[in-house]
Amino acid sequence: ERRGTIYTYSIVHSGTEAFQDKTPYVLAVVEVNRQKRMARVEGYTESTDIEIGMEVVFLAEDQMGNPIYVFA
Amino acid sequence: MRSVSVIGIGETKIGRFPDKSLRELIQEAGTKAIDDAGIGREEVEALFMSNFNAQAFSGQGHLGPLAAEALGLGNIPTLRIEGACASGSLAFRQALHAVATGLYDVVLVGGVEKMTHQSTGPVTAGLAGAADIDLEAGVGATFPSIFAMIANRYFHEFGNVRHEMALCAVQNHENALLNPHAQLQKRITVEQVKNGVPIASPFTIFDCSLVSDGSAFVVLAATDLAKAVSRKRLVEVVGCGQAGDTLTLASKKSMTTFDATVLAARNAYAQAGLRPSQIDLAEVHDCFTITQIINSEDLGFFAKGAGAYALAEGKTALHGQIPINVSGGLKAKGHPIGATGLCQIYEIVTQLRGDGGARQLKKADIGMTHNIGGTAATCVVSIFRGR
């Protein structure tokens, strides 16, 4: 299943060293088929109006096999 | 199980002490606690030592023998206990059971953390180990961002309480002004909180607890023995519950109710034979402003969704219906992780003895500490009664 919805989220301005160069980035708990998983959502800009329930689409897996999503 | 009481407490000032070693922090707080108990060091039968991550922050492990040596406790059994931010309360609970079951008559519980000599990177990385390193830290999560997601979900379910979260920070800073041990004795305003440096939406830096150094110790004794040796008001441990939950946020049944808090509190209330309305004051884990609000509901003080508004109405203020974090909390007194649970106990015992100085409550007979580790994956709730 490639589509999911945002169950909750935060725009991260201060991340760990490994992710600091990506700030600000969106971290979300994404719900897919009633299963929840934490993931980054790419494509955020200051004009992005994020809401809980918003649809996201699977983009790729990172090096650790964790899913990365993008706003639909 | 026999009754157990607190007969001694000791604490360093909480703050930034880059020049003080772990050993020096332990010596200061431990010596104060033993002196406060009015016992000789040879009477301490075991040491339960709490610490989160001295290996990462200072390169030091094996803290049990280090502390016993620093305090001149000889060849007694020691152990070090870790449960993230709940480490101190976990050590306390193990020590409590060791005395309650008759294994020992008098034991010492200590906690210490030293972080401020490190730069933000190693501290953030060290703290991330209290979350899931693959499924959470591995995708860019930090503790502020995890609790920020909890806050945003809370807004979705119960309404936007951003203003009340700011009031929570302001209130805890006000209380800390009266606590000589507090790290941040600085008044702040709602506007400062809302307009602070953004960390993870909706949090600014003023929604977050502090990076701290510090140590706290507690002496526990069988109550029958305590009556004979203690010169101060006896503080009996009448309830101590512990519960757990999933490590990862995404796996929790709810993100706006901390099940571990609900269950640990239920257990502690049952042991004590008390209801939430009978608690005179509580030190409630406030790693972030939303955390205090949610926990104030889960401890039974307020209905679900009502915690923020109760705070705004002054019900948790210094002389409110149920004063919360009169010490200043993790937010302003400080958060020396391995010592935090014991710092909470230090405050409750101080209040129950009537030694709170400018922040002393008029009625302080029954107090509670609430301490969580990780994303409320570990929780200990303890209830104390002055006799």
pLDDT digits (tens, 9 = 90+) for B198-245: 999 999 999 999 999 999 999 999 998 898 988 689 899 999 999 999
pLDDT at A1: 65
Residue B357: per-residue pLDDT: 97
Give contacts of A64 with chain B, Cβ < 8 Å: 134, 138-139
Does the CA dihedral B247-B253-B256-B262 come out positive or negative?
A: negative
Which sign, positive or negative, has the C-alpha torsion B302, B306, B308, B312? Answer: negative
Judging contacts by C-beta atoms under 8 Å, the chain A residues touching residue B141 are: 27, 38
Yes or no: say if A8 and B148 are a contact pair by the CB < 8 Å rule: no
8 Å CB contact of B255 and A8: yes
Q: DSSP letter for B361, please.
A: -
Q: Do A9 and B139 touch (CB under 8 A)?
A: no
Chain A residue closest in CA terms to B135: A38
Residues A64, B138: C-beta atoms closer than 8 Å: yes
CB contact under 8 A, A10 and B124: no
Contact B139/A52, CB-based, under 8 Å? Answer: no
Residue numbers of B annotated as active site: 85, 335
Structure tokens at A64: 């650790």
Q: Domain count of chain A?
A: 1
What is residue B49's three-state secondary structure? strand
Domain boundaries of chain B, sorted by first residue: 4-118+211-229
In this prediction, residues B307-316 reach a mean pLDDT of 97
Which residue among A27, A39, A64 places its CB closest to the CB of B134?
A64
DSSP B13: P
Predicted confidence band of residue A22 (pLDDT cuts 50, 70, 90):
confident
Q: Please name which of B345, B36, B61, B79 lies closest in space to residue B216, comparing C-alpha atoms.
A: B345
Contacts of B251 in chain A (CB under 8 A): 36
Q: In this complex, do A15 and B142 lie within 8 Å of one another by their Cβ atoms? A: yes
Q: Starting from the edge strand earliest in sequence, which strands make up the sheet with B78-81, in order?
A: B78-81, B47-50, B106-113, B214-222, B4-11, B235-244, B378-386, B366-373, B281-284
Domain range for residue A42?
3-71
CATH 3.40.47.10 fits B4-118+211-229, yes or no: yes
Name the closest residue on chain B to residue A37, using Cα atoms: B250
- Taking residues B173-201, report their average pLDDT: 95
3-state secondary structure of B328: coil
Put simply, the answer to whether B199 touches A39 (Cβ < 8 Å) is no
Q: What is the pLDDT of residue B232?
A: 86
Q: Residue B234: CB partners within 8 Å, gap ≥ 6?
A: B5, B7, B223, B226, B227, B386, B387
**Closest alpha carbon within chain A to B156:** A52
Confidence label for B11 from pLDDT (cuts 50, 70 and 90) = very high
pLDDT of residue B196 exceeding 80, the answer is yes
With beta carbons under 8 A apart, name residues in chain B contacting A36: 250-251
User: How high does pLDDT run on average in chain B?
Assistant: 96
* Residue B174 CB coordination number (10 Å): 16
Q: Is B119 on the interface with A (CB under 8 A)?
A: no
Segment 7-66 of chain A within 8 Å of chain B by CB? 7-19, 22, 25, 27-29, 36-40, 52, 62, 64, 66
Other beta carbons less than 10 A from residue B75's beta carbon: 7
Q: Residue B274: pLDDT above 70?
A: yes
Q: What amino acid occupies position B112?
A: V
| Position B253 confidence tier, pLDDT thresholds 50, 70, 90 | confident
By CA distance, what is A30's nearest residue in B? B250
Q: Is B152 on the interface with A (CB under 8 A)?
A: yes
Asked if residue B329 lies in contact with residue B208, where contact means CB atoms within 8 angstroms, the answer is: no
Give strand pairing partners of B282: B324, B368
State the nearest Cα–Cα gap between B124 and chain A, in angstroms: 6
Q: Are B44 and B107 in contact (CB under 8 A)?
A: yes
Task: Provide the percentage of residues in chain B whose pLDDT is more than 90.
Answer: 90
